[in-house]
Structure 1
Amino acid sequence: MSEILNLVTSKVQQAKSALCKFITANDTGLTGGHQCGFHISKEAWTMFLDKEPIKGVNIDIPIRIHWQNDFDTDSRFKYYGVGTRNEYRITRFGRGFPFLNDENVGDLLVLARFDKDYYEAFVLQTDDDIDEFFSFFNLSYDKTNQIIDVKQTGQPEQRLKNLINSFVAKFDRFPETRIMAKGARDCYNEANRIINQNILKAPDDVLLGWLDTEYTLFKYMEEKVYSDVISMPFPSIDAFVSMANEVLNRRKSRAGKSLEHHLADIFTQNSLLFEEQVITEDNKKPDFVFPNGECYHNLAFPGDLLTVLGAKTTCKDRWRQVLNEADRVDDKFLFTLQQGVSSNQLKEMQDYHLHLVVPHKYLTCFPKEYRTGICDLYTFIGMVKERQERMPKQYLFL
């Protein structure tokens, strides 16, 4: 764990309340909105106000923020409720403020409240730090821009809770990641009465629901598996550190595999032909090859009908890993849960013929001028279906 991440996790646990959010193009002013400043979700108003404001008034209160354990800003927390606006935003950071530039899009802002008008803020800028932060607090990537449940006391809806408890009761130890992912899908689908038509029509929403449910399921599994261990004193500091590392490593490993498992099920439900972890040139293994590895290695198969997709929870640092995973395919795709990437990085991706695929609700987190080159999961599935409909018939049954 990096020095900055150690500090952030410690501060969040000490704070009265905290939130995290990905910095978006809207925050930096790249979308041409009313003004730049960090947009705060309506659910997080309790971090700043004693009572929820009434539509039709504006509220402007001073707050001091200590940034990156380094410098302070005398900023403002504002509620815009007059006219058509209905939003919260933190503004006024002074000249030379380093965290509202294009390069910060996709970074993770962590804001912790220590007093009524005193906050500490940190910006995590690497994929590793962001992933480890989410793993440390066992947060879903879709549960940002809201209060962090540090003690993890939040309860799912009763129906889903009962289903999750029934699943957890079957195991005395952590099941294999594929079984865990399927359990999350089954719980979510039954609780929300999801049928195949929902997956065909709204794969983006269903995928996020599955991922969020698996985070909750995993919390319950942790409580069951580790309850006896943490109820007893540790014999040494080394034993405590070893156990903490085991927990964090399991969380990180599960998160990456979880995304791949859920995407695979989405593709199966949509009747796509695909293969996972196909070995390509130099023993590389892209996450998904459409239609399969045999077609990829058959030089007679039309190259324009091949599709390669990587899957990474975050991609600010890791997107280049996808570029050389399949030499036969010039234009590659990368599915990510990253909520925003800088214009400079998107330009680089464009130059390297890499196309992002993100959940539909995340599209607005990216600079407007690059959104046409980014697609949601529903659109990606439609593109692959169209390519597979054009496949020569002799390859359909390989």
Structure 2
Amino acid sequence: MGFHPEWNEISAWISRSRRLFIKKLARNDAAWADSASNGHQNGFFIPRPIAESDFFPQLKNSNPDKPHIFDVEYPTFWPASGEVRNSTIKYFSLRNPGKANAKPRYEWQHTGIPKEQFKALSPASLLLVGKLEEDVSGAGYWFVVVDSVSQEAEIVETAFQLDADFHYGLFDPALPAAQTSVTDQLIGDLVQAIKDGTLERFIKTQAMPPPATLASQAQAKWLSENGGRDMNPFSIRNPGDAVMRISRDIEYAIYKQAELRFRAAQVARILVSSGGDPIVNLVRGFAELDAIFLSAAQTRKSRAGLSFEHHVERLFRDGRVHHEAQAVFGGRRPDFVLPDVSELNANGDAVIVSLKTTLRERWKQLALEKPFGAIFLATVDDRISSEAIDEMGRNAISLVVPESLKKANESAYDGNSNVITFTEFFEIEVRSKRPSLILPL
């Protein structure tokens, strides 16, 4: 089990809870655990809206000599190690207490937690806290840390529909399902198709839309929401945030609705095959069911990369940036070459832009492209470590990230010279340094 439980155990704890708090950990929420000396933090901060809710135990002033400090001690349960900790929440209500210039301060610090469970975490990891229906070993709360690069983090993000700009929130422990109206409509459609003997025809009409179609629908929705006519990166505010929102939230929501209808119909066909007993069909058709769900997982992963590519290309196209997509040279095929592959090595203005929705170790192959042009790696991944960012810098690779991720407390991007935003890429690297890349009207 280790210090980071698997999803089936996390799910079991969620089901025993009446309320759930999820926080994407900021750098200072976990950095203390990797320090030789704990310093003054030794825990994580509770956001003000959560602290002022009724989720955590009520704080009181326990020291009349320091009336600006409120605190509470309470037992907490940590399933990863099976231990109960005597934890403390402290609220320092004033800055410079006792002085004429004392001002309100909003810091709720949670200490008394297992240091080892916060060690060596990837940026943007998650903290899950459940308020239990019934105490466990005298504790009314359980805590689990989920590393952001784990499969469990992906499941949590999907199950609770955490948006790209998620930082923290309170949730009902019942895992969110599709909207009732959408679900009921699908059930009715499937029941009718089975009754009419038209299930095969229904499945054909529910085929998954091509990636380009999904991307176009998502872009149209974003433009409608924001009152825009195009996705010109030189005129829209924060183009990187726009791409992240379209790809990770809007398009994914459209995709999930289409996937539900298509995959549910495929499974229904197996369960009602030849009018037989559904249990018998389930067992005999297990291999086929397994193939359906494997295909679904693989399609989701490939969709994310294609989605990102479509939306970045829309920025290039609407900004009239001369580019060539999927150009092949020297046995390599980067996502984009600016202006085109014929210019590589011809002058110093050629640019190679590669896209990775998630990096891990796959960025290292880009170092081989250094002789051909300036290398920019665009990503919406907020889990990249400081060590990886430094290594990319030593390999002359510049990261291009959404504007909100560059300054986010949860990521390790801020303060790194080789990390720029989408806005900076288009304004500085294209318009200022390489104006010839912009095609005339």
For Structure 1 versus Structure 2, the TM-score category normalised by the shorter chain is 0.7 to 0.9
Residue in 2 that maps onto 1:64 = 76
Q: TM-score, normalised by structure 1?
A: 0.74
- Against the structure 1 CA distance between its residues 244 and 372, is the aligned structure 2 distance closer, same or farther, given a 3 Å change threshold? same
Aligned-pair distance for 1:176?
Answer: 0.8
**Deviations 1:88-137 (Å, cap 9, x if unpaired)?**
5543325x5252x5x42425225152616322413335476655665676
Letter in 2 for 1:113: G
Letter in 2 for 1:295: E
Q: Which of 74, 91, 95 lines up with 2:111 in the alignment? A: 91
Residue in 1 that maps onto 2:282 = 235
**Deviations 1:283-325 (Å, cap 9, x if unpaired)?**
22222222222222xx4x21x312222222222433324323x
In 1, the alpha carbon distance for the partners of 2:256 and 2:109 equals: 32
In 1, the alpha carbon distance for the partners of 2:10 and 2:299 equals: 18
Q: Which of 401, 414, 426 lines up with 1:381 in the alignment? A: 426
In 2, the alpha carbon distance for the partners of 1:154 and 1:61 equals: 40
- Against the structure 1 CA distance between its residues 238 and 67, is the aligned structure 2 distance closer, same or farther, given a 3 Å change threshold? same
Q: Which of 313, 328, 335 lines up with 2:371 in the alignment? A: 328
Residue in 2 that maps onto 1:145 = 168
Letter in 2 for 1:217: I
- Does structure 1 retain, via aligned residues, the 8 Å contact 2:267–2:289? no
Residue in 2 that maps onto 1:38 = 44
Aligned-pair distance for 1:179?
Answer: 0.9
Q: Which of 207, 210, 216 lines up with 1:182 in the alignment? A: 216
| Structure 1 residue matching 2:415: 3-state secondary structure | helix
| Structure 2 residue matching 1:370: 3-state secondary structure | coil
Instruction: Could you tell me which runs of 5 or more consecutive residues in structure 2 were left unpaired when the two chains were aligned.
Output: 33-38, 59-67, 95-102, 134-139, 181-204, 272-277
- Against the structure 1 CA distance between its residues 221 and 81, is the aligned structure 2 distance closer, same or farther, given a 3 Å change threshold? farther
**Deviations 1:126-174 (Å, cap 9, x if unpaired)?**
476655665676654433533568323579xxxxxxxxxxxxxxx6221
Residue in 2 that maps onto 1:28 = 30
| Structure 2 residue matching 1:201: 3-state secondary structure | coil
In 2, the alpha carbon distance for the partners of 1:8 and 1:356 equals: 36
Q: TM-score, normalised by structure 2?
A: 0.68
- Against the structure 1 CA distance between its residues 228 and 271, is the aligned structure 2 distance closer, same or farther, given a 3 Å change threshold? same
Letter in 1 for 2:76: R
Residue in 2 that maps onto 1:319 = 363
- Against the structure 1 CA distance between its residues 280 and 84, is the aligned structure 2 distance closer, same or farther, given a 3 Å change threshold? farther
In 2, the alpha carbon distance for the partners of 1:35 and 1:335 equals: 34
RCO (CA 8 Å, sep 6+): is it higher in 1 or 2? 1
Residue in 2 that maps onto 1:362 = 405
- Against the structure 1 CA distance between its residues 215 and 34, is the aligned structure 2 distance closer, same or farther, given a 3 Å change threshold? farther
Residue in 1 that maps onto 2:55 = 48
Instruction: Could you tell me which runs of 5 or more consecutive residues in structure 1 were left unpaired when the two chains were aligned.
Output: 156-170
Q: Which of 270, 275, 296 lines up with 1:247 in the alignment? A: 296
Residue in 2 that maps onto 1:263 = 312
Aligned-pair distance for 1:251?
Answer: 1.9
- Does structure 1 retain, via aligned residues, the 8 Å contact 2:338–2:351? yes
- Does structure 1 retain, via aligned residues, the 8 Å contact 2:21–2:129? yes
Letter in 2 for 1:388: R
- Does structure 2 retain, via aligned residues, the 8 Å contact 1:106–1:338? no
- Against the structure 1 CA distance between its residues 259 and 13, is the aligned structure 2 distance closer, same or farther, given a 3 Å change threshold? farther
- Does structure 1 retain, via aligned residues, the 8 Å contact 2:244–2:380? no
| Structure 2 residue matching 1:305: 3-state secondary structure | coil
Letter in 1 for 2:242: V
Residue in 1 that maps onto 2:240 = 204
In 2, the alpha carbon distance for the partners of 1:239 and 1:47 equals: 48
Question: How many percent identity over aligned positions?
Answer: 21
- Does structure 1 retain, via aligned residues, the 8 Å contact 2:146–2:152? no
Paired residue total: 364
Residue in 1 that maps onto 2:393 = 350
Residue in 1 that maps onto 2:227 = 193
- Does structure 1 retain, via aligned residues, the 8 Å contact 2:377–2:400? yes
Residue in 2 that maps onto 1:339 = 382
- Against the structure 1 CA distance between its residues 110 and 378, is the aligned structure 2 distance closer, same or farther, given a 3 Å change threshold? same
In 1, the alpha carbon distance for the partners of 2:324 and 2:10 equals: 38
In 2, the alpha carbon distance for the partners of 1:50 and 1:98 equals: 23
- Against the structure 1 CA distance between its residues 147 and 13, is the aligned structure 2 distance closer, same or farther, given a 3 Å change threshold? same
In 1, the alpha carbon distance for the partners of 2:107 and 2:240 equals: 25
| Structure 1 residue matching 2:218: 3-state secondary structure | helix
- Against the structure 1 CA distance between its residues 197 and 309, is the aligned structure 2 distance closer, same or farther, given a 3 Å change threshold? closer
Residue in 1 that maps onto 2:128 = 111
Residue in 2 that maps onto 1:168 = none
